[in-house]
Amino acid sequence: MDPAQPSVRLPEKPSPAPVAEPDTLPGLLALARPTFLAWEKLRLLYVAILGALTLGLWLHYPPPDRGRGLFLIGEGAVLANLLYFAGPMVETYVAWLGWRKCWLRPTLFIAGTALSVFLVLIVVPAMGEDPF
């Protein structure tokens, strides 16, 4: 044994924690951008459907307090647009998993719009009822 070399071997520096491959994020962005842009075009149809339905129900079932009714409609519009993001997020995630199907976007759009229409049909007429 050479006295210049230590008898105890020190451990090597631990390797850094594993990180995602450098091309993962650009790949995800490449999937997300066209998906979100396509959904933004569909948003116009979504807003038109919900807006027309809400206006028609508002005229048929006017709320007793118009100011409060407008506030509630504004809240509903913000919530509907926030929830709309579920569609492109789900589609991007499914595409990232490698399972791209041409029927996914229309199915998600129709199901989400139908759910929103159902909620509008419940909430807007209820605003016209006198709670007392």
Q: What was the pLDDT predicted at 64?
A: 84
pLDDT tens, position by position, 3-14: 666 566 666 666
Tokens read off for 101: 């199907």
Q: Look at residues 40, 21, 6, 25 and name the one whose alpha carbon lies nearest to residue 96.
A: 25
> Is residue 31 within 8 Å of residue 96, measured between CB atoms?
yes
Mean pLDDT of 70-93: 94
Mean residue pLDDT across the chain:
85
Q: Distances in Å between the alpha carbon of 2 and those of 5, 6, 7, 9?
A: 6, 8, 9, 13
> Is residue 84 within 8 Å of residue 43, measured between CB atoms?
yes
Q: How confident is the model at residue 69 (pLDDT cuts 50, 70, 90)?
A: confident
User: In the chain, what percentage of residues exceed pLDDT 90?
Assistant: 53
pLDDT tens, position by position, 83-99: 999 999 999 999 988 88
